[in-house]
Structure 1
């Protein structure tokens, strides 16, 4: 307003700029109408090249987390921050509206105190439609363990949810966490307690005694009591499982969830006015030391023998004697031992191998099995010359069938009339 008024009074642009304390080019732009008061020049939108990709991803999966989508476009070259990214999603209305999923408000919540190193919360997460080559059925099984004080969590894929696989997954989770808390918390799963009463079973009491921990069972229908692990379940399902493509092995999927859990350690926290991260809080927690070997539970899994007389187990292959191709066998392994046994359907042990490192992709063969397989293959060979396949055979002579009751070369006699 002052610039236009002074300009009408005959002032020069330099005099107006000195009088108002502004740059001459700024005064010239406002006088020429190239700039509008109150409007800043917008910087180039870094989100624009990725808008169509985000719209397509959210159209395919309307419930995809923004954090998952942000990780994807960061790999594609997006340079902005997460808050700028979410503002752009809202500004462009990229996510389709879903009325049933609107969050309900007005619910009362309570904050439960969690001293450091006091508790670990465990829960099974059933993941639908796993890759068919895993052979686990309709759901994959992920055991998640979380430290409620810091929020750090780790997870392990298991083949089933029975007692031996639960013990195996528990041991792997606490070793990934770097130790165990003084108490373990579960919901009313039947492998830990009797669901009707909540009393811990004798079998799992032996496991708790082995690790030197106490066991707490959540009240019935009180999922918020272990809300930290429930939130970890949500993160694993939305940020990892929704992005798992077909064709991955169990070991590759396990490495993916491990990377996500480590990435989640960088989440920010404010404790007593000081800024920190989940990883720093977890490193400061004092956890109990773990036994050198896991609890000696016996894990078994059914497998099918390949034509090469091999059996797959935990990302490795083990040999069996020839003659078992296509049959179902049982792989049995006691946790903490260095050997595993392979049994037939009649529980006869046909092979015993030293267990290879889980997921290392090794092929463990017994020398006797190799010699027996080679001998059987050589015995199946024949010295007879193979059939000739690159020849043109003569066309066969066509012979028409002769009517029954007819002499060769003569037509059949007519049938006499009825009654004659």
Structure 2
């Protein structure tokens, strides 16, 4: 801290706040060192009375290096947090930070990793409790090693920075709005407005700057049901929702980094276990405990409606000749006696179920409801839907001596011979002579 610079800027007419921003310190510090009885130099650092801070021993260094090798980008604050919560190690954060700054380049060279980073400038703003939340997606890649992508949904309350996160395999409308419902239940209410990017689930089409953005009808219906306003950012302005942009990285560092997971339930549970740790921290921007500020934020939220919104994404499909409808590379059955081949139907895809309905003016009649397949190429069939289709049980042949039935249920299909006409036909078939010829007679 350069006290001489304080005096130089002050003599040039700069205020305490201007000097603090320029020198990267608090304005009260500037005022203290510019007073008439100010000290001539900053005090030397002294340890607090009664506290014992451990040095970076070989054991602690090995723990830090283990976390760095698991994820070279893991922050020093995350390492310090996990040392305290998971390893029961009490060590000064600055010592961890200094050790990481020395060990990280060495381990990065060993691993062959590259260092990259981006920075942006933006205008800061603050909100009142319960007024705003921000939403964003995070792409976590193949988190479980199954070849299927995992996405993280994030919602952050702007006043307190209280976070919510859940993980899905899809970013479609059903997963998007379903994650909103889970977030509202997590916070215990609905914010006054939510800030979004110009995604296709929010915006119906893109328009020129200065024109009103047309919202997607599903987004309008959902926001109207829960009573919040949709705030769409300008194009290419991600810093307009910097709170959730930052939260995506924080959750990735503190929850996912250096850990392995088996399924979505495992990741959701790990995030919920981390939430109390986050709420106990002092936020570096508003300098208050996040959990204390979150209580004020939650109390100002609007109540969640008693009836949940039915989340479904509509798709048009055609019924096949086999009374099967294709959706996401899987086949779902519909009642054969209620549709015709090639008929257009509507697939209403929810998070867990698939409903297939007709395209009537009155909103459509639901033909079938199936559980949504979690794998591609599956057949989801209700055998009752095919009851009216021919199954071949009446097909049979005879050679004059034995009857051969092709009934799928077996060769001994029951024939009702109580009817006189049926009995007469059976008796005539039994006396028909069938000539047997050798195959050579058909040779050309």
The question of a shared fold, defined as TM-score above 0.5 by the shorter chain, is answered with yes
Alpha-carbon distance between aligned partners in 2 of 1:199 and 1:329, rounded to the nearest angstrom: 34
Q: What SS does the corresponding residue of 2:155 show, helix, strand or coil? A: strand
Q: How high is the TM-score relative to the length of structure 2? A: 0.54
How far 1:56 sits from its partner (Å)?
Answer: 4.2
Aligned to 2:139, which of 126, 142, 149?
A: 126
| 8 Å Cα contact 1:189-1:195 kept in structure 2 | no
| Pairing of 1:345-384 with structure 2 (within 5 A) | 349=368
How far 1:342 sits from its partner (Å)?
Answer: 8.5
1:166 aligns with 2:159: no
Alpha-carbon distance between aligned partners in 2 of 1:227 and 1:185, rounded to the nearest angstrom: 10
> Aligned Cα RMSD in Å?
3.9
Aligned to 1:80, which of 66, 82, 91?
A: 91
Aligned to 1:264, which of 278, 283, 302?
A: 278
How far 1:154 sits from its partner (Å)?
Answer: 0.2
More divergent stretch after superposition (112-121 vs 81-90): 81-90
How far 1:268 sits from its partner (Å)?
Answer: 0.7
Aligned residue pairs, count: 278
| Pairing of 1:3-402 with structure 2 (within 5 A) | 45-74=55-84, 75-90=86-101, 96=108, 100-101=115-116, 108-133=121-146, 137=148, 139-197=149-207, 198-246=213-261, 248-269=262-283, 276-285=288-297, 286-298=300-312, 349=368
How far 1:253 sits from its partner (Å)?
Answer: 1.1
Q: What SS does the corresponding residue of 2:267 show, helix, strand or coil? A: helix
Cα deviation 1:128-179 (Å, max 9, x = unaligned): 122144x7x3x21211001111111101222311112211111111211221
Query: What residue ranges of structure 1 are gaps of 5+ in the alignment?
Result: 1-39, 301-326, 353-367, 369-378, 380-420
Alpha-carbon distance between aligned partners in 2 of 1:276 and 1:162, rounded to the nearest angstrom: 36
Q: What SS does the corresponding residue of 1:144 show, helix, strand or coil? A: strand
Cα deviation 1:40-71 (Å, max 9, x = unaligned): 9x997353312134234424532122233234
Alpha-carbon distance between aligned partners in 2 of 1:350 and 1:291, rounded to the nearest angstrom: 26
Evaluate the alpha carbon distance shift between residue 258 and residue 329 of structure 1 in structure 2; reply closer, same or farther with a 3 A threshold: farther
Evaluate the alpha carbon distance shift between residue 341 and residue 58 of structure 1 in structure 2; reply closer, same or farther with a 3 A threshold: closer
| 8 Å Cα contact 1:47-1:88 kept in structure 2 | no
How far 1:204 sits from its partner (Å)?
Answer: 1.0
| 8 Å Cα contact 1:66-1:86 kept in structure 2 | yes
Alpha-carbon distance between aligned partners in 1 of 2:302 and 2:236, rounded to the nearest angstrom: 30
Q: How high is the TM-score relative to the length of structure 1? A: 0.57
| 8 Å Cα contact 1:67-1:239 kept in structure 2 | no
Larger radius of gyration: 1
Q: What SS does the corresponding residue of 1:171 show, helix, strand or coil? A: helix
Give the equivalent residue in structure 1 for 2:361. Answer: none
Alpha-carbon distance between aligned partners in 2 of 1:333 and 1:76, rounded to the nearest angstrom: 45
Give the equivalent residue in structure 2 for 1:376. Answer: none
| 8 Å Cα contact 1:155-1:257 kept in structure 2 | yes
Evaluate the alpha carbon distance shift between residue 329 and residue 159 of structure 1 in structure 2; reply closer, same or farther with a 3 A threshold: farther
Alpha-carbon distance between aligned partners in 1 of 2:230 and 2:172, rounded to the nearest angstrom: 18
| 8 Å Cα contact 1:123-1:144 kept in structure 2 | yes
| 8 Å Cα contact 1:329-1:342 kept in structure 2 | no
Evaluate the alpha carbon distance shift between residue 277 and residue 213 of structure 1 in structure 2; reply closer, same or farther with a 3 A threshold: same
Alpha-carbon distance between aligned partners in 2 of 1:228 and 1:150, rounded to the nearest angstrom: 10
